[in-house]
């Protein structure tokens, strides 16, 4: 995508250094179900140990696809059985993993920094044991507080050591260093769609942020106090948190790069009008499962994927009829969807 900032309507706007999309100013399009299960499979497969080797084992991948089809084949809310994981889905996701993610992971194994779901990055084992031990020792100073603050509805299983909601900014009461009262931010009045938008943030209070300064070489310095960590005994936390935050900087850089090119809003599936999602057709569940198994067998044998339940319907319209004529009301059927084709993986 062209490296230009765009409005929420997709129109290019003047580029300004350091300006990125903001959650209170930009509105993402909803993800269609097909997009969701493609994203979920891609991310979950890359969570596997040594996944770059496992992706070359087609039998292993076929089993994972079989598990995904079983889990994804029922809509979460309605419980409606639907057609998922057709030949285009399988070709697309395998190509994405092999040609996009595998080369990146192979090249960056030493850094342990890798993409997770779209717009999210992760690092395995980035915190060494010495740093973990320092943080654990420092936490003891908070755990020994006789007035323990148990997290609500946790049955005293989750202890809050530091919580930003304890003493937050209270609009209309909290004052700045200059003595000025803090009021909630104003919503821009010139948005003609303002009346139709609900802004889901509080107008009563907000968490008090801390200021972190990042040097050119990625080192972090905390330049303000941290709310609820302001006592003399809490000073031990600051260098530890600076060290931990410095390890996050490369991850933040990747996230910001994705935001700059709007990768967080990338779609694998073309826009699909809601009315086009359901073809109004359905097939017996057994026929659907047999078709899926033929498709996975073709994939496992590295053959061209030709099995297509929708094509089979055109050739054999009898599939639309009930295979259990005597008891059609209890026959489980799978609804066929009109999926738009997938698009490039960015």
Predicted pLDDT of residue 12: 45
Let me know how long the chain is.
346
Provide the domain count of the chain.
2
Q: With a cut of 50, list the residues of the chain below it in pLDDT.
A: 1-17, 192, 274-276, 322-329, 345-346
> Do the beta carbons of residue 333 and residue 283 sit within 8 Å?
yes
The answer to the question of residue 272 being in a domain is yes
Within this chain, do residues 215 and 305 fall inside the same structural domain, yes or no? Answer: no
22, 45, 163 from 174: Cα distances, Å? 25, 48, 18
The answer to the question of residue 6 being in a domain is no
Host domain of residue 319: 33-118+266-337
> Do the beta carbons of residue 277 and residue 335 sit within 8 Å?
no
- pTM (two decimals): 0.74
Within this chain, do residues 196 and 274 fall inside the same structural domain, yes or no? Answer: no
Residue 141, classed as helix, strand or coil, is helix
Contacts of 50 (CB under 8 A, 6+ apart): none
Within this chain, do residues 301 and 227 fall inside the same structural domain, yes or no? Answer: no
Predicted pLDDT of residue 190: 52
The answer to the question of residue 15 being in a domain is no
Within this chain, do residues 225 and 275 fall inside the same structural domain, yes or no? Answer: no
What is the residue whose two structure tokens read 């770059």?
A: 52
The backbone region for 85, taken as left when phi is positive above 0, alpha when psi lies in -120 to 50, beta otherwise, is: left
The answer to the question of residue 233 being in a domain is yes
Predicted pLDDT of residue 267: 74
Within this chain, do residues 41 and 81 fall inside the same structural domain, yes or no? Answer: yes
Predicted pLDDT of residue 282: 78
Predicted pLDDT of residue 64: 98
Torsion angle of alpha carbons 11, 15, 18, 21, nearest 10°? 0
- Cα Rg for the chain, rounded, in angstroms? 26
The answer to the question of residue 170 being in a domain is yes
Within this chain, do residues 96 and 150 fall inside the same structural domain, yes or no? Answer: no
Within this chain, do residues 217 and 270 fall inside the same structural domain, yes or no? Answer: no
Within this chain, do residues 137 and 235 fall inside the same structural domain, yes or no? Answer: yes
Within this chain, do residues 174 and 218 fall inside the same structural domain, yes or no? Answer: yes
* DSSP conformational letter for 28: P
The answer to the question of residue 60 being in a domain is yes
Torsion angle of alpha carbons 149, 151, 154, 156, nearest 10°? -10
The answer to the question of residue 203 being in a domain is yes
The answer to the question of residue 204 being in a domain is yes
Predicted pLDDT of residue 276: 45
Within this chain, do residues 150 and 229 fall inside the same structural domain, yes or no? Answer: yes
């Amino acid at each position: 995508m062209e490296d230009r900032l765009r409005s929420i309507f997709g129109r290019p706007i003047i580029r300004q250094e350091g300006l990125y999309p903001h959650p209170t100013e930009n509105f993402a399009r909803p993800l269609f179900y097909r997009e969701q299960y493609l994203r979920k499979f891609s991310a979950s497969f890359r969570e596997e140990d040594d996944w770059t080797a496992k992706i070359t084992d087609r039998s292993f991948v076929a089993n994972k696809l079989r598990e995904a089809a079983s889990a994804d084949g029922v809509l979460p809310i309605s419980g409606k059985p639907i057609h998922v994981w057709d030949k285009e889905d399988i070709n697309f996701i395998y190509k994405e993993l092999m040609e996009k993610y595998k080369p990146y992971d192979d090249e960056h194994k030493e850094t342990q920094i890798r993409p997770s779901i779209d717009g999210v990055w992760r690092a395995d084992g980035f915190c060494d044991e010495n740093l973990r031990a320092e943080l654990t020792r420092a936490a003891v100073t908070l755990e020994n507080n006789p007035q323990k603050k148990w997290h609500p509805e946790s049955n005293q299983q989750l202890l809050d050591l530091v919580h930003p909601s304890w003493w937050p900014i209270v609009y209309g009461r909290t004052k700045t260093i200059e003595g000025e009262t803090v009021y909630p931010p104003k919503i821009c009045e010139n948005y003609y769609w303002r009346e139709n938008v609900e802004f889901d943030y509080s107008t009563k209070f907000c968490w008090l942020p801390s200021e972190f300064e990042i040097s050119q070489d990625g080192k972090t310095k905390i330049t303000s106090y941290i709310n609820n960590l302001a006592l003399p005994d809490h000073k031990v936390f600051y260098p530890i948190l600076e060290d931990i935050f410095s390890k996050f900087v490369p991850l933040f850089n990747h996230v910001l790069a994705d935001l700059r090119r709007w990768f967080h809003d990338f779609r694998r599936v073309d826009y699909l009008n809601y009315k086009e999602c359901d073809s109004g057709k359905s097939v017996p569940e057994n026929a659907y499962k047999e078709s899926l198994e033929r498709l996975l067998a073709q994939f496992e044998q590295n053959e061209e994927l030709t099995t297509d339940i929708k094509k089979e319907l055109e050739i054999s319209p009898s599939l639309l009829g009930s295979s259990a004529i005597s008891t059609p009301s209890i026959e489980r059927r799978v609804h066929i969807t009109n999926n738009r084709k997938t698009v490039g993986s960015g």
